Chains A and B, each alone.
Chain A
């Protein structure tokens, strides 16, 4: 069962680990929203060491605002986004910001 739905606000865990994982460091600790469910796949963190990759893990396409990621460094529109596939074990739920219309 997928823990998150499209639109959910999520934070990428900030964990720094030496073992193999597929979470790019530049989104660690950052807040984004689930754009889509990408499916469930063999767990790369287990398969990388010869494991079966079971149980399978949910994968989400998560989006981040470019300006929130890079601040003034970003040269482009306010709506520009970065989308990245992130495994469920790297995501945690975060509430809506105060004053948000949902």
Chain B
């Protein structure tokens, strides 16, 4: 991002993080603590997000994408499992 031309004003509005965002931050910390993933892997996973999608996603949404890449890569979860459970989560929480 550094030096990429931008004249955009900085949106300084403050807000509380949403519950799922706080959960994301905590889940990543837990997985780091248990040495399931490390910060460098998380960053590499974020960089693997295509540029258009990267710009579209929010900060913790990028963490979610990266985490999925890593957990699938490590064989802990499958995309299919996550698809199925995400649909169920969606039905429960809208």
Contacts and interface: CB of A to CB of B under 8 A. Distances in A.
Nearest to A46: B40
B3 interface: yes
Nearest to A50: B41
Interface of A: 20, 24-26, 42, 44-45, 47-50, 53, 69-70
For chain B, give the interface size range: under 10
Contact of B40 (A20, A24, A26, A69): A20
B43 interface: yes
Contacts of A69: 3
Given A44-B40, A47-B40, A50-B41, A26 B47 contact: no
Given A24-B2, A26-B3, A47 B47 contact: no
A4 to B, nearest CB: 22
Contacts of A26: 2-3
Contacts of A50: 41, 74
Nearest to B41: A48
Interface in B35-94: 38, 40-41, 43-44, 47, 74
